[in-house]
């Protein structure tokens, strides 16, 4: 896969070619069509989040098509268009989740 990778804070992103990742049993692999870079990603690039592990590929808000399924995945198929939001999982039980403010979830993943 091709990606733009940050290898050190305050440096330009570098074009890299990496091996295609293999999806785990409950995962899918997506051929990305569009990717958003959020403000948190820019904080990492600017060195304002020093705990970030480098190298890193900024951008995690994506839309694309499934190109490989993990062994346990059901209900999805190769070629299907999918999107990945900035927040992958919320608990569904805390105050914020039960009041329509999932982005503030006490136990996000």
- Domain segments of the chain as ranges: 2-104
* Residue 29 region by backbone torsions, left for phi larger than 0, else alpha for psi between -120 and 50, else beta: beta
Name the superfamily (CATH) of residues 2-104: Medium-chain alcohol dehydrogenases, catalytic domain (3.90.180.10)
pLDDT (0 to 100) of residue 62 = 92
pLDDT (0 to 100) of residue 36 = 87
Beta-carbon count within 10 A of 45 CB = 19
pLDDT (0 to 100) of residue 37 = 86
pLDDT confidence band for 89 (50 / 70 / 90): confident
In this structure, the strands spanning 61-69 and 28-36 are: antiparallel
Per-residue pLDDT tens for 17-64?
A: 999 999 999 999 999 999 988 888 888 888 898 788 899 999 888 999
Q: How far is CA 8 from CA 11, 46, 51, 83, 90, in A?
A: 6, 10, 12, 29, 31
Tokens of 37: 């870079």
How much is the pTM? Answer: 0.75
pLDDT confidence band for 13 (50 / 70 / 90): very high
Identify the residue with better confidence: 40 or 67: 67
């Amino acid at each position: 896969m091709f990606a733009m990778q940050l290898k050190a804070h305050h440096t330009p992103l570098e074009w890299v070619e990496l091996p295609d990742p293999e999806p785990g049993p409950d995962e899918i692999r997506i051929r990305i069509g569009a990717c958003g870079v959020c403000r948190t990603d820019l904080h990492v690039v600017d060195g304002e989040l020093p705990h970030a592990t480098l190298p890193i590929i900024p951008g995690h808000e994506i839309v694309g098509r499934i190109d490989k399924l993990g062994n346990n995945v059901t209900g999805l198929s190769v070629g299907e268009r999918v999107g990945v939001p900035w927040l992958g999982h919320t608990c569904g039980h805390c105050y914020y989740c039960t009041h329509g403010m999932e982005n503030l979830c006490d136990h996000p993943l």
